[in-house]
A and B are shown apart, each in its own frame.
Chain A
Amino acid sequence: MITKKDVELAGKLANMHVSAEEAEIYEGQLRALFGWVKELSSVNTDGVKLTNVNLSAHLRKDEPVCDPALAQQVRSVFTEQEDDCAKVKKVL
Chain B
Amino acid sequence: MMTIDQILTAITSGQKTAEQITREFLNVIAEKNPTINAFVEVFEADALAQAKAIDEKKARGEKLGPLAGVPVAIKDNILYKGHKATCCSKMLENYVASYTSTVVEKLIAADAVIIGRTNMDEFAMGSTNQTSVYGPVKNPADTTRVPGGSSGGSAAAVAAGMVPVALGTDTGGSVRQPAGFCGVVGIKPGYGRISRYGVIAFSSSADQVGVLAANVKDAAIALEVLSGKDVHDSTSLEAAVPSYTKDFTADLKNVKIGLPKGFLDGLGEDIKNKVTEAANALKARGAELIEVEVPYAKYSAPCYYIITSAEASSNLGRYDGIRYGYADKQAQGLKAYYENSRAPFGLEVKKRIIIGTYALTSERYEECFLKAMKVRELIRDDFKKVFSKVDVLLTPTSPTTAFKLGQQDENPLSMYLADLYTCQGNIGGLAGISVPFGKDGNGLPIGVQFYGPILAEDKILNVANQLEKSL
Contact = CB atoms under 8 A, between A and B. Distances in A.
Given A16-B350, A58-B234, A59-B231, A32 B413 contact: yes
A7 B364 CA distance: 13
A33 B351 CA distance: 11
A86 B357 CA distance: 28
Interface in B334-359: 334-335, 338-340, 342-343, 345, 347, 350-351, 353-355, 357-358
A29 to B, nearest CB: 5
A45 B412 CA distance: 28
Given A14-B353, A17-B339, A51-B377, A37 B334 contact: no
Interface residues of A, number: 36
A39 B302 contact: yes
B2 to A, nearest CB: 40
Interface string B166-197: 00000000000000000000000000000000
B371 A41 contact: yes
Given A17-B339, A43-B375, A58-B234, A10 B302 contact: no
Contacts of A22: 347, 350
Majority DSSP secondary structure for residues of B touching A: helix
B347 A25 contact: yes
A51 B429 CA distance: 13
Contacts of B380: 51
B299 A26 contact: no
A29 B412 contact: yes
A85 interface: no
Contacts of A66: none
A43 B378 contact: yes
A91 interface: yes
A45 B354 contact: no
Nearest to A47: B374
Contacts of B303: 40
Given A25-B347, A59-B234, A14 B357 contact: yes
Nearest to A15: B338
A37 B353 CA distance: 16
A50 B373 contact: yes
Contacts of B372: 37, 40
Given A30-B355, A41-B367, A14 B373 contact: no
Contacts of B373: 50
B435 interface: no
Interface residues of B, number: 41
A25 B409 CA distance: 12
Contact of B354 (A18, A39, A40): A18
Interface string B358-386: 10010000011001111101101000000
B334 A91 contact: yes
B311 to A, nearest CB: 13
Contact of A40 (B313, B350, B351, B371): B371
A49 B377 contact: yes
B196 to A, nearest CB: 14
B55 interface: no
A9 to B, nearest CB: 8
Nearest to B413: A32
Contacts of B338: 15
A57 interface: yes
A45 B371 contact: yes
Nearest to A51: B377
B454 to A, nearest CB: 13
Given A7-B354, A40-B299, A40-B371, A17 B413 contact: no
24 contacts: A10-B354, A11-B350, A13-B357, A14-B353, A14-B357, A15-B320, A15-B338, A16-B354, A17-B339, A26-B354, A30-B354, A30-B358, A33-B413, A36-B302, A40-B371, A41-B371, A43-B371, A43-B375, A45-B371, A45-B375, A49-B377, A51-B380, A58-B234, A92-B335
Given A11-B350, A14-B354, A16-B350, 13 more contacts: A9-B361, A10-B354, A15-B342, A18-B354, A26-B354, A40-B375, A41-B367, A45-B377, A49-B377, A57-B234, A59-B234, A91-B334, A92-B334
